[in-house]
Amino acid sequence: MTDGATIQKHPLINVVLFCVSFSAMMLVGVVDASEHLASGFSKDSEYISQKILPMIRALPNPLAVDLIIAERALW
């Protein structure tokens, strides 16, 4: 799952992993979208997907990923 945050004027995307096998979530990575937004683009679903797919592929068992939830944002 993803969640957007702006911390000290830096637009971030938090990438979180949730698994039914354990009760806690795990932070997989954080993306700083400052440069992307400064170029006039937005944190849309396509951008978010391009950023989280490499994170998923780096997991120990990336084939175990069933669903990606990325909210469509218009920032």
Categorize the per-residue pLDDT at 70 as very low, low, confident or very high, splitting at 50, 70 and 90: low
H-only helix segments in 1-75? 34-38, 45-57
The proportion of the chain whose per-residue pLDDT surpasses 90, expressed as a percent, equals: 16
Counting the structural domains of the chain, the total is 1
4: pLDDT strictly greater than 50: yes
Predicted confidence band of residue 40 (pLDDT cuts 50, 70, 90): very high
Residue 32 domain flag: yes
Residue 35 lies in a domain: yes
With bands split at pLDDT 50, 70 and 90, how would you rate the model's confidence at 33?
very high
Q: Does residue 23 belong to any structural domain of this protein?
A: yes
Domain containing residue 6: 2-64
**pTM here?**
0.70
- Residues 47 and 37: their CA atoms lie apart, in Å, by 11
